[in-house]
Amino acid sequence: MLEIHSLVKRFDDIEAVKNVSFQVKKGETYGLVGESGSGKSTIGNMIIGLLQPTSGDILMEGKHLWDKSSYKRMKNGEIQIVFQDPQSSLDPRMTIRSILLEPLRALPLKERREKGKKSNLGKLLRTVGMNESHLDRHPHEFSGGQRQRIAIARAIITDPVFIILDEPTSALDVSVQAQILNLLKKLQKERGLTYLFISHDMSVIQYMCDRVGVLYHGELVEENKTSKLFSSPQKDYTKKLLSSLPTLFEKEDQYA
């Protein structure tokens, strides 16, 4: 579904993404894991059109997303993104209703009317575990977890086929994180969504993803099925990453 070929992004003289290639298959969750400065969010931003690649190709169902310096999707709203910080991803001055309706503005009028109907908004909110009575409230009236639910509702209102999840639970408490992860899995199953899951948290990646790519300083150092990558990591960096992971299970030498 998504193909990335020799993707490069240079900021001035720093190469943030170096010759990265991978593919995401329809219906799967592909994890991109890496530490700060690994370029994982930069890749997400290039796919969604916020950053222009220096070179390389991004293809969505065989069509180029970047044509020279202009970003073109087959259809607005077919790719969506959920950001890390639900504090800042919702405009504090807007009501939940206008927040949800916003992505529809880029769609044709007929579709916009259809999807923006009040009954549809209510259904959408119930899907993410909220309800109609929240429509006229403002983001500050909700907790972090609820805001992330709203952000997810906003992402799925256009019926996207592909969603980039950029550290969607990193700013949340663990107990809330579990709710959001369950919600994301449920939505994927119901709607046949394809996810690109960007995270620094190996245990979340392990739970969420079918396949994983490990990024290190802008390079994709290893890629494998999740279970294989965790059971038999090949590269030194992946091994180091896995052994650094704090664990509930007893591990005598972890901090020795």
Partner 1 sequence: MLLEIKELSVSFESIYGKSHVLDHVSINIKKGEIIGVVGESGSGKSVTALAIIRLLHKNASIDSGEILYENENLLTKDEKEIQAIRGKKIGMVFQEPMTALNPTMKIGKQLANVIRKHREVSKKEAHELAIETLKDVKIKDAEKVSEKYPFQLSGGMRQRVVIALAMAAPPDLLIADEPTTALDVTVQNEILKLMKSLSEKKGTSILFITHDLAVVGNFCDRVYVMYQGKIVESGKTADVLHKPEHPYTRALIESLPEGKNPDEPLKVIDGEPFVLNSRPTGCVFIARCPLKTEQCSNVPPVRWRGTDHWAACWEVEENAGNPLARKEI
Partner 2 sequence: MNTQTETQPQTLTTTQTLSKQKILWYRFKQNPLTLVGTGILLMFIVLAIFAPLLTPYDPEMVNMSERFEPPSSAHWFGTDEVGRDILTRILYGARLSLGIGITVVVIAGLIGSVIGAIAGYLGKAFGQFIMRMMDIMLAFPPLVLAMALTAALGPSLINAMLAIVIVKIPVYVRLARSEALVVREQLFVKAAETFGLSKVWIIARHIVPNVISPIIVQVTIDLGEAILLIATLGFLGLGAQPPMPEWGAMISTGWEFFLDQWWYPTFPGIAIFLATLSFNLLGDGLRDLLDPKSTR
Shorter beta-carbon distance to partner 2: residue 36 or 133: 133
Q: By CB under 8 A, is residue 140 in contact with partner 2?
A: yes
Task: Give the containing element (helix H, strand E) for 197.
Answer: strand 194-199
Residue type, 243: S
Q: Which of 177, 187, 195, 211 binds partner 1 (CB under 8 A)?
A: 177
The CB-of-63 to partner 2 minimum distance in angstroms stands at 15
Token reading at 68 = 């020279």
User: With contact defined as beta carbons under 8 Å apart, do 92 and 140 qualify?
Assistant: yes
Q: By CB under 8 A, is residue 14 in contact with partner 1?
A: no
Partner from partner 1, partner 2, none contacting 105, C-beta within 5 to 8 A by type = partner 2
Find the binding residues for partner 1 in span 199-218 (CB under 8 A): 200, 202-204, 206-208
Which one, of 39, 35, 32, lies nearest residue 15 by Cα? 39
Q: By CB under 8 A, is residue 141 in contact with partner 2?
A: yes
Alpha-carbon distance 62 to 64, whole Å? Answer: 7
Shorter beta-carbon distance to partner 1: residue 6 or 243: 243
User: With contact defined as beta carbons under 8 Å apart, do 9 and 2 qualify?
Assistant: no
Contacts of 122 (CB under 8 A, 6+ apart): 131, 132, 135
159: left (phi over 0), alpha (psi -120 to 50) or beta: left
Residue showing tokens 């809330």: 176
Residues of the shown chain interacting with partner 1 in the complex, contacts defined by CB under 8 A: 35-36, 143, 145-146, 173-179, 181-182, 185-186, 200, 202-204, 206-208, 226, 240-241, 243-252, 254-256
Residues of the shown chain interacting with partner 2 in the complex, contacts defined by CB under 8 A: 48-50, 73, 76-77, 79-81, 83, 85, 88-94, 102-103, 105-106, 129-130, 134, 137, 140-143, 145-146, 149, 151, 154, 158, 179, 182-183, 186
